[in-house]
Amino acid sequence: MTRRRSIAMRAVVAITSLSLAGCAASSSPQPATGRMNAVHEMAPCRSDLSNAQGCGNFLSNAAVIGQIHRGQSRAQVRGIMRHDAERREVGSLTESWGYLTNEKSSMMTWITFTDLEVSSVSHEVVARD
């Protein structure tokens, strides 16, 4: 009788564990690296990297930066990029948003707005922080 009871208890523990694991997975899914999560942040790369969030942003930025063109509004650009720029500069007549688009070469793509529209898109190799 104790052997049957032991097998039954193991089965109950296994089923309970699977149920709890499935419940946890369905309540807090982790998006793939570079994808938007539930709180509108990019999912980072592996957490053991020195700049895991920057890596996740780069993957997202690189996938969509080609959709940015002259004449687009700030709202259109924000909709395409899906998150705030990693860097932002404001001048007297312009505003520029910088997005990391190539992590390996530290390439920053700058989107410059004049009169609230994209006036240029340029690239710059930046020093790592």
C-alpha to C-alpha distances, 103 to 46, 56, 94, 124, nearest whole angstrom: 14, 10, 26, 12
- pLDDT tens per residue, range 7-64: 656 655 556 555 555 544 444 555 555 555 555 565 556 554 455 566 677 888 989 9
- pLDDT tens per residue, range 74-88: 999 999 999 899 899
- Give the 3-state DSSP-derived string for 55-110, with helices as H, strands as E and coil as C: HHHHHHHHHHHHHCCCCCEHHHHHHHHCCCCCEEEECCCEEEEEEEEECCCCEEEE
Instruction: Check whether residue 10 and residue 52 sit in a common domain.
Output: no
Instruction: Check whether residue 36 and residue 12 sit in a common domain.
Output: no
Bigger pLDDT: 125 or 34?
A: 125
Predicted local confidence at residue 88, as pLDDT:
96
Instruction: Check whether residue 53 and residue 7 sit in a common domain.
Output: no
Range of the domain at 24: 1-29
Q: What is the CATH number of the domain that holds 47?
A: 3.30.1450.10
Instruction: Check whether residue 119 and residue 95 sit in a common domain.
Output: yes
Predicted local confidence at residue 117, as pLDDT:
98
Instruction: Check whether residue 13 and residue 39 sit in a common domain.
Output: no
Q: How many domains does the chain have?
A: 2
Please compute the mean of the pLDDT values over residues 96-115 and round it to a whole number: 90
Instruction: Check whether residue 82 and residue 121 sit in a common domain.
Output: yes
Instruction: Check whether residue 24 and residue 36 sit in a common domain.
Output: no
Instruction: Check whether residue 70 and residue 94 sit in a common domain.
Output: yes
Instruction: Check whether residue 107 and residue 44 sit in a common domain.
Output: yes
pLDDT of residue 69 exceeding 90, the answer is yes
